[in-house]
């Protein structure tokens, strides 16, 4: 219990007024008891803290409404998230308000190239690089990957188990030799894999490293990569390989295909089937081609021929 209280104090610790901090701590406890994901609680606490810092009186809905309306740099999507967080906060205080109407604009997500993702991972710290590699290989949500424990890994079988959040389904993934080596190079100082105290702490470190790497590589596109971007990337790549919405649904852990369908608009298939052809002269080359999504076709002149359907990714 003491450990949980300490984490809650740290999450709300940026707020200066004790009475405001007390209400936020009470709110976070409510979310925890109601079964909200830890990352959701941390994000909502951060939103309330920002509102308080900007001068909003959290007990006065009109004050909050005014502060939100004044934030010209905030997108409609961000304001919509703020309204969601504050509405739930009011519920814990026995209050209601007339919610301002902010509707998030649906945009096609940015999809980086695999080279850009690999360059980012290669230039990050050991812990951050391994975390991002997990996201790349599994398409897991940031919170799902953050909650991984050493007991979720089976190095003998080379598998990784994802415990779901947000009502998703549990999944199990085969790890690549690269990820296994990266994980084995991390220190085991607790039952948790990562040294970060919270997802917000991890996010701050990621943004700092991403900014440095984008500048070093001279590639501003790196700045558009977020943790969730790797989930979008994984989904679009797998859909391009399989053309199966049900497979991608299973991969992401969605309970219904409805949420998964949005990823299909990120892939454009040619009107006529076009393929890339590659040849493998030995087992290692063939293995790498298969891991890259190529399909075996036939043997010609002592080499094996493989093909992969050409696709175009939108939004990148």
pLDDT at 255 (0 to 100):
78
Query: Where are the chain's structural domains?
Result: 2-92, 114-265, 269-313
Q: In what order do the strands lie in the sheet with 275-280?
A: 275-280, 303-309, 295-300
- How many beta carbons lie within 10 A of that of residue 213, not counting itself? 19
CATH topology of domain 114-265: hpI Integrase; Chain A (1.10.443)
pLDDT at 214 (0 to 100):
97
DSSP secondary structure string for all residues of 11-42 = HTTT---HHHHHHHHHHHHHHHHTT--HHHHH
Name which residue leads in pLDDT, 297 or 211: 211
Integer Cα distance of 27 and 228 in angstroms: 26
Q: What is the pLDDT of residues 125-148, one digit of tens each?
A: 999 999 999 999 999 999 999 999
pLDDT at 2 (0 to 100):
44
The crossing angle, in degrees rounded to 10, of helices 2-11 and 18-33 is 120
Q: What is the pLDDT of residues 88-124, one digit of tens each?
A: 999 988 889 999 988 877 777 788 999 999 999 999 9
Token digits for 19? Answer: 């009475």
pLDDT bracket for residue 199 (50, 70, 90): confident
Q: What is the pLDDT of residues 16-63, one digit of tens each?
A: 567 777 888 888 888 888 888 777 888 888 899 889 889 999 989 999
Please answer whether residues 265 and 315 qualify as being in contact, where contact means their C-beta atoms are separated by less than 8 angstroms: no
The average confidence (pLDDT) of the chain is: 85
Count CA within 13 A, CB hemisphere, residue 144. 25
Question: Which stretches of the chain are DSSP H helices?
Answer: 2-11, 18-33, 38-53, 61-70, 76-92, 114-123, 126-138, 142-146, 177-184, 199-217, 227-242, 245-252, 257-260, 283-291
- Bridge-based pairing of strands 295-300 and 312-313 is unpaired
pLDDT bracket for residue 4 (50, 70, 90): very low
Q: Is this structure's pTM higher than 0.85?
A: no
């Amino acid at each position: 219990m003491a450990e949980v209280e300490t984490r809650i104090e740290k999450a709300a610790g940026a707020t200066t007024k004790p009475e405001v901090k007390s209400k936020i701590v009470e709110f976070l406890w409510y979310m925890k008891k109601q079964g909200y994901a830890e990352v959701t609680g941390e994000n909502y606490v951060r939103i309330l803290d920002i509102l308080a810092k900007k001068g909003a009186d959290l007990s006065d809905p009109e004050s909050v409404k005014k502060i939100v309306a004044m934030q010209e740099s905030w997108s409609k999507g961000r304001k919509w998230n703020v309204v969601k967080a504050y509405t739930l906060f009011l519920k814990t205080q026995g209050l209601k308000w007339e919610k301002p109407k902010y509707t998030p604009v649906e945009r096609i997500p940015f999809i980086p190239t695999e080279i850009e993702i690999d360059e980012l991972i290669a230039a990050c710290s050991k812990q951050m690089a391994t975390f991002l590699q997990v996201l790349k290989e599994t398409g897991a949500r940031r919170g799902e990957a953050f909650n991984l424990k050493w007991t979720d890994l089976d190095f003998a079988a080379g598998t990784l188990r994802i415990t779901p959040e947000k009502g998703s389904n549990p999944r199990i993934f085969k790890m690549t030799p690269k990820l296994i080596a990266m994980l084995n190079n991390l220190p085991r100082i607790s039952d948790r894999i990562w040294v970060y105290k919270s997802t917000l702490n991890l996010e701050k470190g990621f943004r700092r490293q991403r900014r440095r790497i984008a500048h070093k590589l001279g590639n501003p596109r790196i700045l558009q990569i977020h943790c969730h971007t790797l989930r979008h990337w994984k989904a679009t790549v797998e859909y391009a390989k399989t053309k199966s919405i049900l497979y991608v649904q299973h991969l992401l852990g969605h309970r219904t295909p409805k949420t998964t369908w949005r990823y299909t608009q990120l892939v454009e298939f040619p009107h006529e089937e076009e393929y890339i052809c590659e040849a493998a002269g030995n087992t290692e080359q063939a293995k790498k081609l298969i891991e890259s999504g190529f399909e075996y076709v036939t043997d010609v002149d002592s080499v094996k021929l493989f093909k992969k359907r050409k696709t175009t990714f939108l939004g990148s």
